[in-house]
Structure 1
Amino acid sequence: MSNAPSLQERSSSGYSYCGTSSSSDIEFDFGAEKPVVKDHSHLLSSSTSSHLLVMGNPKKQNRGNGDSYSGRSSVEESEPPSPESGLPNNFGEVAPGIYRSAFPRLGSFEDLKSLKLKTILTLVPEEYPMENVDFVKAHGIQHFQIPIPANKDPFVTIPPQDMAAALKLLLDRRHHPILIHCNKGKHRTGCVVGCYRKIHDWTTPTVLAEYRKYAGNKARLLDERFIELFDERAALAGFSMADVMSVDPARPLLLPTPPPSVVNDPKDDDP
């Protein structure tokens, strides 16, 4: 993407980008009056399918209608680090090359460097702190900002096209390693990871169990309802599953452990 505007040049489209991308299929018009992408199906088109990564759930490969996310995988639940880690709160490994966390702060930058990130995806609308902007620039990290609303009001929900755009970044291996985060790493991030799991054919109870593990006693019924009703097939419309690269990860994830960094302070709510 050439002449990409800085993070500060966010427009009413709601999308923001900082860095240089080699992915010509991901483009945002920062001068548009309306969001450029009303239908994100083209972001998942077969023109980029050779770069897309879908790891099948070995427990459930076939949907019964001829489509199958074939291939072996050792993808398990997101894996949090030990309490001694300097990584951000609620950090976890979703799959090889895909990480999740709360908002990265200055104290975690040194440990984040070890991940050799190519991309950071932010799900909240606030301006990125200057120290974070300096960090991504210093390490050549692409920064995408796709603000999605919190599911706190029954009349406000995450737009499906925004969720599709976020999932496209996670599925495109050219952006790996990628870190996805919101404020607390519980709600918005939990919804995106939950929808990512549905694409990989996880059962709904398993998806929701992982969501609750990270949300703790702050789990939101509206988040769970959104994940449950999310139509992963619509999100992948126009996308040829036959062309998707299904892989056997180079390394297995660690055995699941409860996230030690989950803090259930009554004041610790994700706005």
Structure 2
Amino acid sequence: MVYIPPLNFAPVVSTEVSLYRSGYPMPLNYPFIADQLQLKTVIYVGDKEISEDYREFLASQSIVYEYVHVESCRDANIKEHMDQVLRKVLDKHNYPILIHSNKGKHRVGVVVGIIRKVLQGWSTTGVYQEYDIFSGGLKGGVDLEFVTMFETDLKVRRLTIPDFVKLQDEGVTKTGS
């Protein structure tokens, strides 16, 4: 069988958990998702409802689906939406996870940039370089400024945090077990 990953598919983290990014999966990508990724959670960061065939596919695979409505990083509730995504990413019970947007460029680029910066301690330069690879260097100014300025004060349970997370003194903090 030939497996075809979704547009702009790439692993974000491959440690004891697997976190992936991509564009919107199409029916020709479903065998790849089902057989190769064995996902537990899909987070769609976008501005449209998903198709009925995609909804049926996710249900048939018992994949938990979360829709985070984001028009752009200029949305009034964008910080809350990013915190919503981070809560899912910070709970290892949700893995393997695929986070996707429509094309796998800008919205997912912002989410991955925040994960890289806040959870993994990446430099701004590294975040910008990765964003540019997936976006083709287009339309990144506002998105990258948002990632650079993003801060959070999430509180999460210590036992649920995946090993790849390198928490700083500020931002996400661990609470009791």
The TM-score with structure 2 as length reference comes to 0.81
**1:93 partnered with 2:11:** yes
Q: Which has the higher helix share?
A: 2
Deviations 1:63-121 (A, max 9, x none): xxxxxxxxxxxxxxxxxxxxx85000100000021000000001100111121000100
> What's the CA shift string for 1:221-269, capped at 9, x where partnerless?
00010011111xx343x347x6675637xxxxxxxxxxxxxxxxxxxxx
Structure 2: gaps of 5 or more residues: 165-177
Q: 1:108 and 1:239, CA in 2 relative to 1: closer, same or farther beyond 3 A?
A: closer
Say if 1:158 and 1:193 are closer, same or farther in 2 by CA, change over 3 A.
Answer: farther
Match of 1:149 in 2: 71
Task: Tell me which amino acid in the other structure corresponds to 1:201.
Answer: G
Q: For the Cα contact (< 8 Å) 1:160–1:235, is it kept in 2?
A: no
Q: 1:247 aligns with which of 154, 158, 163?
A: 163
- SS of structure 2 residue aligned to 1:225: helix
Aligned-CA RMSD value: 2.2
**Greater than 6 Å deviation, 4+ residue runs:** none
CA-CA distance at 1:191 after TM superposition: 0.3
1:138-159 deviation line (CA, Å, top 9, x unaligned):
11000000111224xxx64662
C-alpha distance after superposition, 1:164-210 (max 9, x if no partner): 11111112111100100010000000000000111211111111111
Identify which of structures 1 and 2 has the higher relative contact order when contacts are C-alpha pairs closer than 8 Å and 6+ apart. Answer: 1
Does 1:188 find its partner at 2:107? yes
Q: Indicate which of 217, 221, 224 corresponds to 2:141.
A: 221
User: Matched residues in 2 for 1:117 and 1:218: separation?
Assistant: 30
Q: Distance in 1 between matches of 2:83 and 2:122?
A: 18
Kindly provide the amino acid, as one letter, of the partner of residue 64 in structure 2: Q
Report sequence identity in percent: 29
Name the residue aligned to 2:173: none
3-state DSSP of counterpart to 1:94: strand
**Structure 1: which amino acid aligns with 2:19?**
I
> Is residue 162 from structure 1 mapped to residue 81 from structure 2 by the alignment?
yes
- Mapped pair 1:128 → 2:46: no
Q: 2 CA distance for matches of 1:93 and 1:166?
A: 17
- 41, 52, 57: which one aligns with 1:119: 41
Unaligned runs of 5+ in 1: 1-83, 249-271
More strand by share: 2
| Residue of structure 2 in register with 1:109 after alignment | 30
Question: In structure 1, what is the Cα distance between the partners aligned to 2:162 and 2:62?
Answer: 28
Report if aligned partners of 1:125, 1:145 keep a CA contact under 8 Å in 2. Answer: no
Count the aligned residue pairs.
159
Distance 1:217 1:247, change over 3 A: closer
Aligned mates of 2:133, 2:102 — CA distance in 1: 16
